[in-house]
Structure 1
Amino acid sequence: MTKTALITGASSGIGKAFAEELAQRNYNLIIVARSNSLLVELKEKLESQYGIKVTVICQDLSLPRAGESIFNQVKQENIFVDLLVNNAGFGDYGRFTDRTLSKQLDMIQVNITALVELTYLFLQEMKTQGKGEIINVSSIAGYQPLPYLSVYAATKAFVLSFSEALWAEYKSYGIKILALCPGPTESKFPEVAEFTNFPGMEKGNQSSIAKAEDVVKNALSALEKSQANVVTGGIGNQIVVNLSRFFPRELIVSGVEKQFRQN
């Protein structure tokens, strides 16, 4: 029987790469994002290329109860979601009080609240069925505070902790839950965050940017192995996430502040 995957933030970047890879693996898809035109374009491409069924849900996850709205639309179609990919998220660069409060609160709504809501609703069904998989997209930013991306890093720390806790709670039910922690990856993140000089992503240093397709393949491989988390993107990212094991946190965050400061 063909499985179904639901992917948020599916119109670009890692989300779109998930859609393309899972379509190749013969999953039917439910793709979610704000841009209906981009979703329809992706739907037509994947249905034509792979002969699968793609359902489009145009939804702004920054709106209250957005997750419930998505869940209800899926239930109206009587679809069981075998794999939930909570990928949608964004950042915002700058000194905390120099940025708008509304954007910070929208970030928490998308990166945390909608993710928790969707996980809660679909995980209940998975528990009843005794099967299911969830990938929550965190970041290597979730391993340490990031000055000038303070709220973003904090949301990703939440996603990492939350996902690992659920991994332990639900593995005995036959459910796999993975926190995916990529480093710099081909996406619209710098553009949306208004952070064009992201360390490691400077012009002329593009070799350090992971391909979204590689991140997705690494994530699906880790999920198959029932890992609680996976850090993608090479040895440099492994070093970053382990710094706090060897150095005082104050030293690390002070160093990061100097690196991320834009004069």
Structure 2
Amino acid sequence: MVVTRVDILSLTLTTPPDYEYRVSYYPLAYIDINTLAYFSLFSVVTGCTDGIGRSYAKELARRGMKIVLISRNPKKLEAVAEDLKVAFDTETLMIPADFTKLDIYDGIKEKVAGLDIGVLVNNVGMANDLDRFLDLPDGEKTFQDMLLVNNMSMVRMTKMILPRMVEKGKGVVINVSSIAGIFPLPFFTVYSATKAFVDSFSRSLAYEYKDKGIHVHLVGPGAVYTKMAEQFLDRPGLTAPTPDTFARSDLRSIPKIQVTSVVTGCTDGIGLSYAKELARLGMKIVLISRNPKKLEVVAEDLKKKFDTETLMIPADFTKLDIYDGIKEKVKGLDIGVLVNNVGMASDLNRFLDLPDGEKTFQDMLLVNNMSMVRMTKMILPMMVEKKTGVVINVSSIFGIFPVPLVTIYAATKAFVDSFSRSLAYEYRDKGIHVHLVGPGILGFVVLHLTRRAVYTNMTQKFLDRPGLTAPTPDTFARSDLRSIPKIQVTSGYWFHNLMREAIRFMNFVAPYKMTNMIGQFVTSAMEKYKEKCKKQ
């Protein structure tokens, strides 16, 4: 559990010396809060129509979250909701509520019932003009309102939302305090006392729920150029950032989560790159592949570069008796991402002419299709139960059209395309994002024409080097992960997406001619490859 105070005036991250800090951050999803992985979950932001609250709403929406907007002014709520919709295509729920009233909470509770809430931003607050305690005009009402808005709202909203987070074993509570919470501030006597309350409440709450997967994040800004501070500040600057700059900076300071990704076929190529990119985002990784020595090398590399916790599971996906063992080993893990990457291909040849064809074809179906079905059947129920998860199914550009001379391989990738798109529809209302990626991994046809694919061990015999149209696996995986959850079906890399759409159009307009053309190009590529091998 971590409690941090961001002091914007000194631009340093400080922590009280007498407090024990432990990282135990499990927000509502499965990737770092600074990514787009929150697409199926909600953040609740109070006091969201101006200043820091509005900026938190924008930054969380930017990261793919749905937002519950709670504030007093309905017209301002509508403006914020419209702004988020236009800027980020964000789903919002507007709840007008005046936090100076005590009768609002049952209504709020009813409206958020059933939502999968993972982040609560207790931001709503008010301050008074500079004056002595007794000299403040209409002091009784001002002081009463300030306690109800600054403190009561935080307690009641936390009491409302926290039980669901505890039940799920993950959640983030962001309590917005002030630098005035760490020392008494004459002429702001009641205001600074309410912020001292926020500091004490947040730090105690963090300790109480540190073993429940809850991260209580206490943020105590100095001067931020909001409407509240305009009377003291001429303009934003280095020591007085805008609310947008402040919120973006603060969200970066929240630690990365430690939820788990499962990656099959992870010791080479794209699978290895997915494992590295997910580790870079702070996730634990379950590495599943055939070669134990390669698994150890990958695990050591991830530990060294990203301090990543890994679980290695050697498994040969040409066998059917491996799945009970895998299931036993991943039992109890909080799995948020499954990358079905393992795959194999055959050499270029006619269906009947491939050496040892029966075994090759059988292995290809077991590795390319059976593994995907069995691993998804194993992991998906855990995701559905949590109402959140990402399944990344790695296909190929060959999944969108028949390809002679790699007949079975292309058919297995057509299976992946169909399976993924149907699965995405079936579980679209369960918080599951099925991401189908069809790179030009083995694009022999396109390789022959333009040398475009992904530069992996599989394609080195056709490609001289990586380049703009044939990215490295690292570049490819990083590019693809950025597209989640905005795109359901993709080729993962910008140039491959252009290729995909062009080929789909050609296949739609003239499918017979397309197959003939592909067959001719693949045959030509095969002959050239054989000649190259003879010369070597």
> How many residues were matched structurally?
216
Is 2:102 the counterpart of 1:81?
no
Give, in whole Å, the separation in 2 of the partners of 1:109 and 1:207: 33
Deviation string, structure 1 residues 67-87 (Cα, Å, up to 9, x no partner): 343222211xx2121100000
Paired residue for 1:6, among 15, 22, 44? Answer: 44
Normalized against structure 1, the TM-score is what?
A: 0.77
The answer on whether the counterparts of 2:45 and 2:68 sit within 8 Å (CA) in structure 1 is: yes
Structure 2 match to 1:39? 77
Tell whether the 8 Å contact from 1:61 to 1:109 is kept in structure 2 after alignment.
Answer: yes
**Which residue, 228, 247, 254 being the options, matches 1:216?**
247
In structure 1, runs of 5+ residues without a counterpart are 227-263
Q: Which residue of 132, 140, 149 maps to 1:95? A: 132
Please state how far the C-alpha of 1:131 moved relative to its aligned partner.
Answer: 1.1
Q: CA deviation digits over 1:20-45, x for unaligned, max 9?
A: 11111000000111111111011112
Distance 1:59 1:204 in 2: 31
In 2: Cα distance, 1:171 partner to 1:120 partner: 16
> Normalized against structure 2, the TM-score is what?
0.39
Secondary structure at the counterpart of residue 172 of structure 1: coil
Among residues 140, 150, 155, which one is paired with 2:194 in the alignment? 155
Distance 1:17 1:204, change over 3 A: closer
Match for 1:158: what amino acid? F
Q: Which has the larger radius of gyration?
A: 2
Match of 2:226 among 171, 187, 195: 187
> Aligned partners of 1:11, 1:138: CA distance in 2, in Å?
18
CA distance in 2 between counterparts of 1:207 and 1:133 reads: 28
Report the AA paired with residue 84 of structure 1: L
Q: Percent identity, please.
A: 33
User: Which residue number in structure 1 is paired with residue 478 of structure 2?
Assistant: none
Whether the 8 Å contact between 1:68 and 1:121 is mirrored in structure 2 is no
User: 1:67, 1:115 within 8 Å by CA — same for their partners in 2?
Assistant: no
Report the Cα distance in structure 2 between the residues aligned to 1:213 and 1:135, rounded to whole angstroms: 16
Are the structure 2 counterparts of residues 205 and 187 from structure 1 closer, same or farther at C-alpha, using a change threshold of 3 Å? Answer: closer
Change (3 A) 1:219 1:66: farther
Deviation beyond 2 Å, 4+ runs, structure 1? 65-69, 203-208, 221-226
Is 1:62–2:100 an aligned residue pair?
Answer: yes
Aligned amino acid, residue 135 of structure 2: D
- Deviation for aligned residue 1:214: 2.3
Question: Is 2:109 aligned against 1:71?
Answer: yes
Summarize deviations over 1:103-146 as a string: whole Å, max 9, x none: 11100000001110101111111111111110000010001111
Correspondence for 1:52 among 81, 90, 95:
90
Matches of 1:183 and 1:215 in 2, distance apart? 10
Say if 1:167 and 1:177, in contact at 8 Å, map to a contact too.
yes
The answer (yes or no) to whether the contact 1:183–1:210 under 8 Å persists in 2 is no
Cα displacement (A) at 1:205? 8.2
1:53 and 1:205 map into 2 onto residues whose CA distance is 30
Match of 2:161 in 1: 122
Aligned mates of 1:107, 1:66 — CA distance in 2: 16
- Aligned counterpart, 1:19: 57
* Greater relative CO (CA pairs within 8 A, separation 6+): 1
The separation in 1 between residues aligned to 2:249 and 2:238, in whole angstroms, is 18
| Partner secondary structure for residue 145 of structure 1 | coil
Tell me if structure 2 keeps the 8 A contact 1:68–1:117: no
Report what 1:171 is aligned to.
210
- State the SS of the aligned residue for 1:165: helix
Aligned residue type for 1:136: N
Q: Structure 1 residue 225: deviation in Å?
A: 5.3
Contact 2:46 2:123 in 1 (8 A): yes
CA contact (8 A) 1:177 1:223 kept: no
2:83 maps to a residue whose letter is K
Between structures 1 and 2, the one with greater helix share: 1
Once the two structures are superposed, residues 150-194 of structure 1 have per-residue CA deviations (whole angstroms, 9 ceiling, x without a partner) of: 100000011011101111111211111111100111212146xxx
Q: Is the 8 A contact 2:46 2:124 kept in 1?
A: yes
Q: Amino acid of the residue matched to residue 108 of structure 1?
A: L
Q: Take 1:187 and 1:55, find their aligned partners in 2: how far apart are those partners? A: 24
RMSD: 1.8
SS in structure 2 opposite 1:134?
strand
What is the aligned partner in structure 2 of residue 136 from structure 1?
Answer: 175
Structure 1 residues 24 and 206: alpha-carbon distance in aligned structure 2, compared to 1, 3 A threshold: closer
Query: Helix, strand or coil: the match of 1:208?
Result: coil
Contact 1:68 1:118 in 2 (8 A): no
Once residues 85 and 179 of structure 1 are traced to their aligned partners in structure 2, the CA distance between those partners, rounded to angstroms, is 10
